[in-house]
Amino acid sequence: MRYDSITEAIGNTPLVRIDPDVHGLRNIDLYAKLELLNPFGSVKDRAAWNMARPHLTEAVEHGSQVVELSSGNTAKALAVIAGMHGLGFKSVTNRMRVPEIKDLLLLLGAQIEELPGQSECLDPTATDDPLTLFHRNLSASGSAYLHTDQYFNPRNTEAHLTGTGPEIVKDLDGRAPDWFVACVGTAGSSTGVARFLRETDPDVRVLGLVAAKSDFIPGIRTIDEVQEVGLFDPDTYDTMESVSADDAIEGMLALNRRCGILAGPTGGAAYFGAVRHLRQLDAESAERQVAVFIVCDRVESYLSYVRKRRPDLLGRPPRKNSPADLSDAEIRTAPAIGVGDAQAWIATDRPLLVDLRSPYAYAALHIDGSVNIVDELFAELVQGGLPFSRRQPVLLACPVGEQSARYAALLTRMGHPDVRSLAGGIIAWRDAGAPLVRD
């Protein structure tokens, strides 16, 4: 495979059969359409390229900025495409809730504008929502924009009508699947594919999946939010069902760990929703059937999303010398010293004074002569053993004396004979009128 441009690598993604041992369906062959293997990482590469391509020459002439309301994958693809053509890209959104994606977009040169949250003190007579204002600004300003308008642009749907749909049929030897399952975001992929499949075989049944209303699955809309999408037509779907964030992550894990498909949460949601829906049919009918679902994008961008919802999945083996292993009694009886005594001790025995706060706080104000080792760093340091000599007395300080008590207990347990925690911390030190400096 030899290409002149990366955009030629968009499309022609594999259709991979899911092992029946994983999904457990006896009569249904389940296939995953691996849109995650598009060059910019998602199903949106097709739509972004198809929407932008016809306008690029003109945009380059005018030096237009590409703009889109996107929280993720479309923005990613457009940022790359814009960059390849020497154009700027701006994403306006109120849904960018996954920090890695935000950082990745910035890395790709995107400019991001987030819409403000809802007002606490509503003005019910206000008619201008932020999106209306955005559209008005686009049309009013004299500068040139290439607004791809993914929620309303028919070329979004078309990319799948002429690409994704035909590829599925080709890989199924010219037949449409009995079932097609897709998550609904802009509705572009589900609508385009469904339309092509129905042209091939009007009996195809289409399952549209949305996020449960109180949940958040990046890239998918809730049942209400799809109503704001111009490309969404309820008649496209034989059934709409919702999937929770937990379900999506469960499905994602199955694809990641058992199928070797590094899908993100929407792929997981599609898999989970497909199996949940097909299980009953599978039990009721002995006829051989084929179902296809779409895997939109990759898992790597969603680690913080997973960390927030399922921290257990990212658990690490327990560490040695961790303050977490200490008992309450050990912490309570850790050697401590009050502000007055500490001042005297510092004057006579010159203990090493360790301030466990962040460098910013330390730089602002600290006890004269102290060294700053942030607690997180300190925790790593002690994993390898005592970081200073047993003959060197140590005074630990933190804001209120809580963390320093933990570490004093830990160091004591590790065999240090003379470590103490500053009771009441730097706050007590300040409140006692003892001096703090910034150097």
Partner 1 sequence: MGGEPLYLEPRLGPRLRSLLESAELLHMLTDALGSPLNLVVPDQIAENLERFRSVYREHHLSGQIFYAHKANRSSALLRRLAATDAGVDVASLGELQHALGAGFTPDRITATGPKNPEFLWLAARTGVTVSVDSASELDQLAALVRAHKLSPVRVLLRLSGFETSGVKVLSRPSRFGTPVGELNLLLKAVERHAGAVDLAGVAYHLDTTSVAEKATALEGCLEALEVCRSRGLRPRAVDIGGGFGVNYLAHGEQWERYTTELTAAVLGRRPSLARGGHGYGLRAESGTVRGSLGLYPAHRPVAGARYLDELLSQPAASLGGRPLAALLLEHLHDLYTEPGRALLDQCGITVAKVLEVRSPDTGAELLVRLALKADDVALEEHGVLMDPVVIPGNGTGPRTKTGGEPVGVHLFGSLCLETDMITRRTVFLPRRPAPGDLMAFANTAGYAMDFHATRAQLQPVAHKAAVWQDGDTWRWCLDDQYWPITPPGEPH
Binding site for ligand PLP (CB under 6 A): 120-121
Using the rule CB under 8 A, is 224 a contact of partner 1?
yes
Candidate residues 283, 364, 377, 437; the one interacting with partner 1 per rule CB under 8 A: 364
Closer by beta carbon to partner 1, 173 or else 224: 224
Is 58 or 402 the residue whose CB approaches partner 1 more closely?
A: 402
Can you say whether the dihedral through the CA atoms of 132, 134, 135, 141 is positive or negative? positive
Question: What's the token pair of residue 233?
Answer: 């037509």
In 10 A of CB 26, how many CB atoms? 10
Q: Is 402 in the site for partner 1 (CB under 8 A)?
A: yes
Task: Tell which positions 87-126 bind partner 1, by CB under 8 A.
Answer: 92, 96, 102-103, 106, 111-124, 126
Cβ atoms of residues 178 and 204 within 8 Å: yes
Written in H, E and C, the secondary structure of 181-245 is EEECCCCHHHHHHHHHHHHHCCCCEEEEEEECCCCCCCCCCECCHHHHCCCCCHHHCCEEEEECH
Residue 5 engages partner 1 in binding (rule: CB under 8 A): no
Where do we find the tokens 């449409």? 176
- If the CB atoms of residues 282 and 355 are measured against partner 1, the closer one turns out to be 355
Residue 57 interacts, among partner 1, ligand PLP, none and using kind-specific CB cut-offs from 5 to 8 Å, with: none
Whole-number minimum distance, CB 431 to partner 1, in Å? 9
Among 195, 303, 399, 414, binds partner 1 (CB under 8 A): 399
Q: Which is nearer to ligand PLP, 21 or 120 (CB)?
A: 120
**What pairing do the DSSP bridges indicate for beta strands 239-243 and 205-211?**
parallel
Minimum distance from residue 129 beta carbon to ligand PLP (Å): 21
Instruction: Mark the segment that binds partner 1 (CB under 8 A) among 52-60, 224-232, 275-283, 380-388.
Output: 224-232
- Please tell me whether residue 132 binds partner 1 under the rule CB under 8 A: yes
**Binding partner of residue 281 among partner 1, ligand PLP, none, CB cut-off 5 to 8 Å per kind:** none
Cα–Cα dist 328/197, whole Å = 64
Rounded to a whole number of angstroms, the minimum distance from the CB of residue 121 to ligand PLP is 5
Q: Rule CB under 8 A: choose which of 62, 136, 213, 413 binds partner 1.
A: 213
Residues 6 or more apart in contact with residue 260 via CB below 8 angstroms: none
C-beta closer to partner 1: residue 169 or 356: 356
Q: Which does 122 bind (CB under 5 to 8 A by kind): partner 1, ligand PLP, none?
A: partner 1
Question: Cα separations (Å) of 291 from 18, 22, 328, 393?
Answer: 10, 15, 56, 70
Number of residues binding to partner 1, judged by CB under 8 A:
52
- Name which of 122 and 140 has its Cβ closer to ligand PLP: 122
Q: In whole angstroms, give the CA distance from residue 273 to residue 245.
A: 12
CB of 331 to partner 1, least distance (A): 15
By three-state DSSP, how is residue 77 classified?
helix
In degrees, rounded to 5, the angle at the alpha carbon of residue 264 between the alpha carbons of residues 163 and 200 is 25
Query: Considering the rule CB under 8 A, would residue 344 count as an interface residue with partner 1?
Result: no
Burial of 369 per CB tally in 10 Å (0-12, 13-18, 19+):
exposed
Tell which one of 427, 432, 435, 437 touches partner 1 (CB under 8 A): 427
CA distance 430 to 427: 5
CA 334 – CA 405 distance, rounded (Å): 6
Binding site for partner 1 (CB under 8 A): 92, 96, 102-103, 106, 111-124, 126-127, 129-132, 152, 213-214, 223-224, 227-230, 232-233, 357-362, 364-365, 398-400, 402, 426-427, 430, 438
